[in-house]
Amino acid sequence: MGRVQAAKKNIIFGYLGQIMTALMSFVLQHLFIRYLDQEYLGVNGYYTSVLSILNMAELGIGTALTYSLYGPVARGDKEKIKSYMQMYRKTYSYIGCIVCIVGLILAPFIRYLIEEPAIDTLTYTDLTIFYLIFLFNTVSSYFVAYKYSIAIAEQKNYIQNNVITITKIVSVTVQIAVLAVTKNFLMFLIADAVVQLLQKIIVSIYLDRMYPILKEKNIEPLSKEETDTVWNKTKALALHKIGDSARLQTDAMIIGKVLGMGVQGAVSNYNMVINTVSNFANIIFNSAISGFGNLIATDTKEKQYSTFKTYKFLASWIYGFSAVGFLLLMNSFVDLFVQLAGKDSKGWVLEPWAVYLIIIDYYFKGERIVLSNYKTAAGVFEQDKYLAIIQGVVNLILSIWLVNTRLGIIGIYIGTVVSGLIANITKPIIIYRACFDRSAAGYFVDLFKHLLTFCAVLIACRGIKQYVMPETTLPGFIIMVVIITVVFNGVYLLIYGRTEEFRYILARLRRGKNAGAN
């Protein structure tokens, strides 16, 4: 299967799965708001962040080993694949045990990381039990997750996507039933944990049958040079992991400790919408990582650069379009969504500047997603290994300082945006030099053009909104969605419709359509 065909298959299965899981997730969120208190919703987001920090024990070994598999998979070197997978399996088993031990040690101290619950029936004992269920889900993943790496290296990301989709559908269906019948958060978590455990057992058996080499015993150990290469990349990735956790996972913890679980519950609605949309976008870009890895192993730098620019242009278009919609309509959507669940939206809708900062960070994250994915595929980890640490420190200092001022939650997201922009400025310079042997000047010129276009469309659509939707109504919301879609995509098509990147994408779409017709 060629790179384009593999990416196409990954994208199709990814979108089908995402559509189904997104719809079910919104139904689940609706019932959650209707039946449970706001603080319970905050617990979900808070513990997800806590466990993400514990996952730092992985320190990037999975990324380093998956990168190392691209070459052997492309060559069909079965023995080398077995050797890397043995290292992967042993390492992940150790890591799973470490995360379990550290997580259990941390359990008694959870009460000191959370503001006292506002719900009388919610005790610190309850919060500890909830935490242990989240910990179980995380630890058990380590004993299966490594098996996906061969499929990913073979550009068969759709296998993992399909498993996630099926599991999500079953899990959410069970959770909806449990929530509707019991209205109990503990039973809600237990239902999800049982489904996830069954999924891991079934998937482990399935992947063993699909890749019999996972069960073979006659395995040649990796050479010292090969092992050193993996560990050197892992050392660099460890710094990325620590920095990313300090930047991306601490916001929820700061909110939970300083502002309370109720505020974190409100934030979770915004995260749900943004993550749903970004998951749709990331299907395209994450599906391309293994294709990038294969391209780097087999093609010229000029071809690599041309492909990179095409994906970068597409990211600017998709993230720009969705960011305009978010900036203009996010609070209106949350207002309507909460009211639909039968609750007063007061306390659920964040102040406008907090939302603006969340979306600004989302936009610039989209601007650098292809850079990050290409860097991962190319194994460029050492060159910017201190960048994530700098970002994490900046985020923590600014967020903790500003949240305790009058800015409150706005201060937290100022730290998030500022720390993110550090990467938008420095990462292109590092990656262009390391991957393409060229200056990043062209990257910044394109970034500036896309940003100008984005701002122009945003201002125009904001002016239209004042007349079409002066107050939040469902008909006005639907009309604005249509207007933003037509205006943004029309302007982008007018300005960039003749570029090399757009013509390449159009040619690929036409080729895929013709192939489907045949």
475 and 371 assigned to the same domain: yes
C-alpha span between 69 and 71 (Å, rounded): 6
Phi-psi region of 276 (alpha: psi -120 to 50; beta: other; left: phi over 0): alpha
Q: Which domain holds residue 165?
A: 1-245
pLDDT (0 to 100) of residue 449: 92
pLDDT (0 to 100) of residue 117: 57
pTM flag (> 0.85): no
User: 109 or 428, which is more confident?
Assistant: 428
pLDDT confidence of 363, banded at 50, 70, 90? very high
Answer with the one of 245, 266, 289 that is the final residue of a domain.
245
pLDDT (0 to 100) of residue 361: 92
Is residue 285 a part of any domain in this protein? no
74 and 158 assigned to the same domain: yes
Query: 458 pLDDT exceeds 90?
Result: yes
**What residues have CB less than 8 Å from 288, skipping those under 6 apart?**
7, 311, 370, 373
pLDDT (0 to 100) of residue 59: 56
For 408-437, how does the pLDDT look when each residue is reduced to its tens digit (9 = 90+)? 899 999 999 999 899 888 888 888 887 788
The answer to whether 233 and 375 are in contact (CB under 8 A) is no
382 and 233 assigned to the same domain: no
Is residue 251 a part of any domain in this protein? no
| Range of lowest pLDDT (38-47, 248-257, 281-290) | 281-290
24 and 105 assigned to the same domain: yes
Q: How far is CA 378 from CA 18, 80, 158, 365, in A?
A: 27, 19, 21, 20
C-alpha span between 223 and 218 (Å, rounded): 16
211 and 318 assigned to the same domain: no
Amino acid at 296: I
C-alpha span between 310 and 180 (Å, rounded): 46
The answer to whether 46 and 257 are in contact (CB under 8 A) is no
Answer with the one of 245, 261, 291 that is the final residue of a domain.
245
Query: 246 pLDDT exceeds 70?
Result: no
Q: What is the DSSP string of 2-53?
A: -HHHHHHHHHHHHHHHHHHHHHHHHHHHHHHHHHS-HHHHHHHHHHHHHHHH
Q: How far is CA 446 from CA 385, 485, 508, in A?
A: 26, 22, 22
223 and 325 assigned to the same domain: no
287: exposed, middle or buried (C-beta count within 10 Å: 0-12, 13-18, 19+)? buried
169 and 232 assigned to the same domain: yes
122 and 36 assigned to the same domain: yes
Is residue 270 a part of any domain in this protein? no
What Rg do the C-alpha atoms of the chain give, in angstroms? 23
9 and 144 assigned to the same domain: yes
363 and 221 assigned to the same domain: no
DSSP state of 304: H
The answer to whether 131 and 121 are in contact (CB under 8 A) is no
Is residue 511 a part of any domain in this protein? yes
Query: Per-residue pLDDT averaged across 42-53, rounded?
Result: 73
Query: Per-residue pLDDT averaged across 440-460, rounded?
Result: 92
Q: How many domains is the chain built from?
A: 2
Please report how many Cα atoms fall inside a 13 Å half-sphere around the Cα of residue 243, on the Cβ side: 19
Query: Per-residue pLDDT averaged across 151-167, rounded?
Result: 74
Is residue 4 a part of any domain in this protein? yes
Is residue 281 a part of any domain in this protein? no
**What residues have CB less than 8 Å from 94, skipping those under 6 apart?**
none
Query: 406 pLDDT exceeds 90?
Result: no
* Range with the largest mean pLDDT of 7-21, 22-36, 267-281, 442-456: 442-456
240 and 329 assigned to the same domain: no
317 and 410 assigned to the same domain: yes
Answer with the one of 219, 245, 271 that is the final residue of a domain.
245
Nearest to 135 by CA among 110, 99, 171, 168: 99
Query: 515 pLDDT exceeds 60?
Result: no
Is residue 265 a part of any domain in this protein? no
Is residue 272 a part of any domain in this protein? no
Q: Where are the alpha helices (DSSP H) in 368-431?
A: 369-378, 387-403, 409-431
